[in-house]
Amino acid sequence: MSAPTYDLGKLHGGLRLPGHKNESTANPIKDVPIPAQLVLPIEQHVGEPAQPVVGIGDRVLKGQLVAEPDGEMGAPVHASSSGTVVAIEQWPVSRRHGDKAPCIVIECDGKDEAIAGGAIEDYPSLAPADLLLRILDGGIVGLGGAVFPTAQKLMQARTCDTEFLILNGVECEPYISCDDVLMRERTHAILSGAQVLMHALQINVCYVAVESDKPAAIARLGEVLGELGDERIVLKQVPTIYPSGGEDQLVQLVTNREVPSGGLPTDVGCLVQNVGTAAAVHDWVLCNEPLISRVTTVTGDGVASPVNVRARIGTMIEEVVEYAGGYTASARHMIIGGPMTGRSVTTDEVPLVKATNCILVVSESPHIGDELACIRCGDCAAVCPVQLLPQQLFWYACADNEKKLREFGLTDCIECGCCDLVCPSHIPLTADFRIAKGRIRELADEKSRAERARLRFEARNVRLERESQEREAELASQKESAKAAGPAAIAEILKRKQQRKEGDAE
């Protein structure tokens, strides 16, 4: 048994929030049965949408590639069970609010036949680069909710001088407990995944960070670490403060290094991966199962029996909730993700995707009060984990002052929602910042478009100028050669021309 260590860096601000986690962690993970139909969005990751490689009517097996990545940034999508592709069409998804996205619809045959393929038992014999390529094929994305393609993240880290791998088992947002139960039940898979990741990156230190409100997970991790005897992996207990699970915040806590503004954890020698991602890497590399299922917390007072379920990617949220006992009579709102950073949806007929870490159903949300004017109390600045000045940003967001917004670091805002929660005037700051960020992006796009148009315009002017010069030079050289030939030759040519004209007239 190896005990957790506590030497930590300092996190600015943050909030202690009521956890609401015990409701869903009382029971072990339940497996949702194979649904009759799977809906697989081709865009379940950051980057370019994947391109379907199957046609309507094709029979697919469990784990078969159905869409491959297109472009530099992306992840493949695999069939979550065996069946027949019945449609490739637009379907409502939870990723973008009220939006539709192209999905591959598979009618399952219930046989759950897996595609043949070899697991790599002896991964240490593989070169790190080959191992990365293998991870790329598994469709693995960051399962903490950001769904950044894992292989690309690892490849980026390989180009930097990375010292530490940090496994994120913090899960600081209220209600969500999928990582907690995963750490209790699939401890071996998580730590084995960490070893695979360490080999792929050639790193010799791995910190497993777990929040102090998960004693069962910490005890289990310590136990398994003791069995493994891998001294490269160190367990770290972090305090229960929201948002200590944010990537940059966790780096600060674990290593006491601050990720620079606009930078990445790799800038300070760290790479953060969610514990679920590590388990997915283990499943793919050692058991040949790509990312076709995930553990999701179904919780809230709108759900009859809150529980963590393992569901196949593409299962309807409606079916997942039904499996968790269905809705209670008081169920009113559904949020995909946690209460702080999740998105509310108006329909449960959306598929569960790789990003879905929590399905939260709540009864009527308490009326927090009407928005009032900012009194500049500064409470928001005190809790901001990125040390921004939300009151100042709010001021400039209202004035649409792009320059000042940048200056005051809006682009570093992690949208954790702490400022919203403490604001005595009930100003929806995070929502305003999201809009302002969109506006900044829009302006940057406009600017780059204008810049491109200007370059093309200037290039065209240069070309026109060059063409006219070439024409002039051509004419001049013709004149020159005529002059060189002498007056007799010119008279000869003119005479021939005259004769031809006369001939034409006749």
Partner 1 sequence: MWIAVITIAVIALVAGIALSYAQRRLPANEGDLVEQVNDLLPQTQCAQCGYPGCRPFAAALVDGSAAINLCPPGGDDTIRRLARLLGKEVMPLAESVVPAVAVIDEPACIGCYHCRNACPVDAIVGAHQFMHTVIASECTGCELCVAPCPVDCITMRPVS
Tokens of 185: 């039940």
**What's the closest the beta carbon of residue 463 comes to partner 1, in angstroms?**
8
Nearer to partner 1, 129 or 399 (CB): 399
Residue 210 contacts residue 236 (beta carbons within 8 Å): yes
How far apart, in whole angstroms, are the C-alpha atoms of residue 430 and residue 432? 5
3-state SS, residue 271: strand
Other CB atoms within a 10 A radius of the CB of residue 315 amount to: 27
Nearer to partner 1, 452 or 496 (CB): 452
Long-range contacts of 246-252 (CB under 8 A, 24+ apart): 246/172, 246/385, 246/414, 246/416, 247/146, 247/168, 247/272, 248/386, 248/414, 249/11, 249/14, 249/385, 249/414, 250/166, 250/168, 250/170, 250/209, 251/166, 252/9, 252/10, 252/11
3-state SS, residue 284: helix
**What's the closest the beta carbon of residue 103 comes to partner 1, in angstroms?**
22
Provide DSSP, 93-134.
ESSSTTEEEEEEEEEE-S--PBPP----TTGGGS-HHHHHHH
3-state SS, residue 359: strand
In order of 84, 107, 284, the CA distances from 42 in angstroms are 17, 17, 20
**What's the closest the beta carbon of residue 443 comes to partner 1, in angstroms?**
8
**What's the closest the beta carbon of residue 464 comes to partner 1, in angstroms?**
9
**What's the closest the beta carbon of residue 502 comes to partner 1, in angstroms?**
33
**What's the closest the beta carbon of residue 458 comes to partner 1, in angstroms?**
9
How far apart, in whole angstroms, are the C-alpha atoms of residue 192 and residue 115? 23
How far apart, in whole angstroms, are the C-alpha atoms of residue 192 and residue 188? 6
Nearer to partner 1, 90 or 204 (CB): 90
**What's the closest the beta carbon of residue 454 comes to partner 1, in angstroms?**
4
Q: Cis (ω within 30 of 0) for the bond into 243?
A: yes
Specify burial of residue 384 (Cβ count, 10 A radius: 0-12, 13-18, 19+).
Answer: buried
How far apart, in whole angstroms, are the C-alpha atoms of residue 52 and residue 43? 11
Nearer to partner 1, 111 or 454 (CB): 454
Specify burial of residue 468 (Cβ count, 10 A radius: 0-12, 13-18, 19+).
Answer: exposed
Nearer to partner 1, 332 or 454 (CB): 454
**What's the closest the beta carbon of residue 460 comes to partner 1, in angstroms?**
5
Nearer to partner 1, 463 or 483 (CB): 463
Nearer to partner 1, 100 or 452 (CB): 452
Residues 224-234 as b or e (16 or more Cβ within 10 Å = b)? bbeebebeebb
**What's the closest the beta carbon of residue 374 comes to partner 1, in angstroms?**
24
Nearer to partner 1, 223 or 451 (CB): 451
Nearer to partner 1, 5 or 461 (CB): 461
Tokens of 134: 């293998």
Which residues are near partner 1 by CB under 8 A? 446, 449-454, 456-457, 459-460, 463
Task: For CA atoms 64, 196, 182, 246, give the dihedral sign.
Answer: negative
**What's the closest the beta carbon of residue 404 comes to partner 1, in angstroms?**
13
Nearer to partner 1, 454 or 500 (CB): 454
Nearer to partner 1, 231 or 470 (CB): 470
**What's the closest the beta carbon of residue 447 comes to partner 1, in angstroms?**
9
